[in-house]
Amino acid sequence: MGARGFETDGLVTEVAVYRSKDDLVRPAELIRSGEVVAFPTETVYGLGANALDKDAIHKIFKAKGRPSDNPLIVHVAEKEQISALVSEITPLARCLIDEFMPGPITLVMRRSQSVPDVVTAGLDTVGIRIPAHPVARELIAMAGVPIAAPSANRSGSPSPTKAEHVLKDLKGRITLIVDGGDCDVGLESTVVDVTGHRPVVLRPGAITSEMIRSACDKIGLSYAQVSVDTVSKMGQTPRSPGQKYRHYAPKSPVTVIHAGKEMMSQAYEQTMISFRQEKPEGVMGVFASHEVCEALRKRFAEEAQGQVVYYEFGSEDDVFSAGQKLYDALRSLDDSGSDRIFAPGFGSEGYGVAYMNRLEKAAGDDSDLDPSAESIKLDGADEDCRQVLFVCTGNTCRSPMAEGIFNSLAKEAGPFVFHDCPTRDAKVFATSAGIFASFGSPAAQNAVEALRQLYGIDISGHRSRRVDETLLSSTHLILTMTQEHAMFLKAAFPPASGRVYDIFSYFENTNIPGEMVRELLKSPAGIPDPFGASLDEYIKTAQTLEHVLSALMPYILENLGVMPISLI
């Protein structure tokens, strides 16, 4: 066994390169003796210990800094070993075992009494997996015990797909790392709850919902769709890793670039230019396809060396390559000193579901992880609400100012009732988003100050978010700051195109005289972006927005099918 030792705080972590079965004799002995060992699987590297040894399991939680209410997945080498760990194997479970194991799938089943509470976080279920990686299966077989193993990283950081990732996170915290090379899949296993009559995906992965449905169809278990439940409810123990806590995040903030294939390079460019205006000396980390990286190298050729760092994943439509390299890219760009990392979004179907699940959590977009967080009631949740969405580029200047001004004007004009049912109360409000927005950035300080000085409106609590299909589908009217914004949304989200208008075009639906429109909007291009400008420029933008929205308010209300109760 080729081995190297690395010492931290007195504990030496050994890295043993796998060459043959003999190289697993010592790791197997360590597992049996109650130690933890990091080892490769086809998904990510795991941090394993004897699943039946409570003391050994506690060492996993200590090494990772993992919350104790986050259950562990138990790995076995053969299908025949599953029955000892569960109280029943349902027909649904048997179907998925036969179809996908060994492979990147974990099945949540009712546990047997042999599995300690510390493994399951006190739940009556346990996740079972048979890895497809030959080193992992051989290690489990040689250890002679089931191995409980989460990913071999510090909790919250990107999962490790190389032995060097494990060493960086856990050096001096564990005894041994088996280096079996890079992981082939690169994203954690699909987790499926099979305790009921229908499969429920708790964590998406390489085994997609479509694949699960197809497997079930073969044995006569037909489902119109496979349920997905990736969020644990507040106060409840998560049934699967990845449901409750923030995961996969590098130190650098991550911005997800949402655009179609033909507009991806442009979307990167615009987002990076906005970042450069905000932080002139900042280092930009780019995770992108070969085609996008080539285009950006030309566009940013004059940047100082090291100011833009690239990590390519392959062709621009290869979501599998992007998923396989995602965690390594996040770590690599983090290590390069990136002040912000830019990564591509993919469509939320097939393998793209798993990729986007990990990427959005890396970007910090985990608002769905805490159901107690305050949220706006959208149309699907409250049929009495009528929502207007204002859209700009980064959701830190124009659109949050428009949101604040509109809501202030609506408050003055209300309360409201519906045109077709004057006895029914209506709620009208605005929200905002950005086409290339990063998640969670505050409004620009000058935007906050301009609204405070002019109108006493407070938008200091605003946090940016990007436009997505869910937000658009719950919005009755979408007003963009420029024609370019409207064109982008119509191309990227065709189902919403009938509700998308740039502000200048929306005036065409009114009887407001053209000379007044030209006075309100100096250019048909729309509301100019004050990003990076002085407070005076922000004040001018805010005044323009207030004049425009005051003129449009009666028409917007009519468009929403509501009217002030004072008009009855």
90 pLDDT tier (thresholds 50, 70, 90): very high
- Are both 49 and 191 inside the same structural domain? yes
pLDDT at site 229: 64
DSSP lists the bridge partners of residue 476 as none
Q: The dihedral of CA 487, 491, 493, 494: what is its sign?
A: positive
Among all chains, which residue has been given the structure tokens 């007003």? 479
Mean pLDDT of 398-404: 96
- Are both 535 and 455 inside the same structural domain? yes
CATH number of the domain that residue 486 is part of:
3.40.50.2300
Mean pLDDT of 476-502: 91
**Residue 214 neighbours by CB under 8 Å, 6+ apart:** none
- Are both 350 and 392 inside the same structural domain? no
With respect to residue 239, please indicate whether it lies within any of the assigned structural domains.
no
Euclidean distance between CA atoms 312 and 324, whole angstroms: 12
Domain boundary at 194, 210, 228, which?
228
Lowest mean pLDDT among 22-31, 130-139, 369-378, 474-483: 369-378
Whether 368 shows a pLDDT value over 90: the answer reads: no
Q: Six-digit token pair at 94?
A: 């048997």
Mean pLDDT of 486-494: 89
pLDDT at site 335: 95
Find the helix or strand (DSSP H, E) in which 379 lies.
none
- Cis bond upstream, residue 102 (ω within 30): yes
Dihedral pair phi/psi, residue 31, rounded to 5°: -60, -45
- Are both 471 and 357 inside the same structural domain? no
**From residue 203, how far is each of 9, 16, 187, 234, 462 by CA, in Å?**
36, 31, 11, 17, 30
Q: Six-digit token pair at 348?
A: 């939320």
With respect to residue 64, please indicate whether it lies within any of the assigned structural domains.
yes
Euclidean distance between CA atoms 43 and 160, whole angstroms: 9
361 pLDDT tier (thresholds 50, 70, 90): confident
Cβ(212)–Cβ(226) below 8 Å: yes
| pLDDT averaged over every residue in the chain | 87
Mean pLDDT of 146-168: 95
pLDDT at site 373: 31
- Are both 166 and 299 inside the same structural domain? no
Number of domains in the chain: 3
Q: Is 233 helix (H, G, I), strand (E, B) or coil?
A: coil
pLDDT at site 140: 98
Q: The dihedral of CA 556, 560, 564, 568: what is its sign?
A: positive
Q: Six-digit token pair at 216?
A: 């079930």
372 pLDDT tier (thresholds 50, 70, 90): very low
Q: Is 540 helix (H, G, I), strand (E, B) or coil?
A: helix
Mean pLDDT of 19-43: 97
SS (H, E, C) 91-105: HHHHHHHHHHCCCCE
CATH number of the domain that residue 26 is part of:
3.90.870.10
Whether 375 shows a pLDDT value over 80: the answer reads: no
Domain boundary at 335, 369, 403, which?
369
Cβ(166)–Cβ(63) below 8 Å: no
Q: Six-digit token pair at 97?
A: 């075992």
Q: What is the distance of C-alpha 502 from the center of its chain? A: 29
- Are both 353 and 426 inside the same structural domain? no
pLDDT at site 426: 87
Euclidean distance between CA atoms 416 and 410, whole angstroms: 9
pLDDT at site 306: 86
Mean pLDDT of 235-248: 56
Q: What is the pTM of this model?
A: 0.67
- Are both 364 and 389 inside the same structural domain? no
- Are both 146 and 211 inside the same structural domain? yes
- Are both 68 and 178 inside the same structural domain? yes
Q: What is the distance of C-alpha 375 from the center of its chain? A: 18
With respect to residue 235, please indicate whether it lies within any of the assigned structural domains.
no
pLDDT at site 383: 60
Q: What is the pLDDT of residues 429-469, one digit of tens each?
A: 999 999 888 777 788 889 999 999 999 999 988 888 889 88
Cβ(285)–Cβ(341) below 8 Å: yes
Domain of 96 in residue numbering reads as 2-228
Higher pLDDT, 530 or 287: 287
Dihedral pair phi/psi, residue 463, rounded to 5°: -135, 135
With respect to residue 378, please indicate whether it lies within any of the assigned structural domains.
no
With respect to residue 241, please indicate whether it lies within any of the assigned structural domains.
no
Domain boundary at 228, 262, 286, which?
228
CATH number of the domain that residue 361 is part of:
3.40.50.11030
Specify which of 94-108, 210-224, 300-314, 475-489 reaches the highest per-range mean pLDDT: 94-108
Higher pLDDT, 552 or 8: 552
> Could you give the percent of the chain with pLDDT greater than 70?
89
- Are both 132 and 223 inside the same structural domain? yes
pLDDT at site 378: 34
Q: Is 512 helix (H, G, I), strand (E, B) or coil?
A: coil
Euclidean distance between CA atoms 94 and 523, whole angstroms: 65
Cβ-based burial of 556 (10 A; exposed 0-12, middle 13-18, buried ≥19): buried
Cβ(48)–Cβ(151) below 8 Å: no
pLDDT at site 12: 83
With respect to residue 68, please indicate whether it lies within any of the assigned structural domains.
yes
With respect to residue 149, please indicate whether it lies within any of the assigned structural domains.
yes
Whether 30 shows a pLDDT value over 50: the answer reads: yes
- Are both 199 and 92 inside the same structural domain? yes
pLDDT at site 1: 54
Cβ(363)–Cβ(439) below 8 Å: yes
Q: Six-digit token pair at 209?
A: 């919902």
Cβ(97)–Cβ(82) below 8 Å: yes
List helix spans (H) across 114-188: 117-120, 134-143, 163-170
With respect to residue 335, please indicate whether it lies within any of the assigned structural domains.
yes
pLDDT at site 346: 87
- Are both 217 and 82 inside the same structural domain? yes
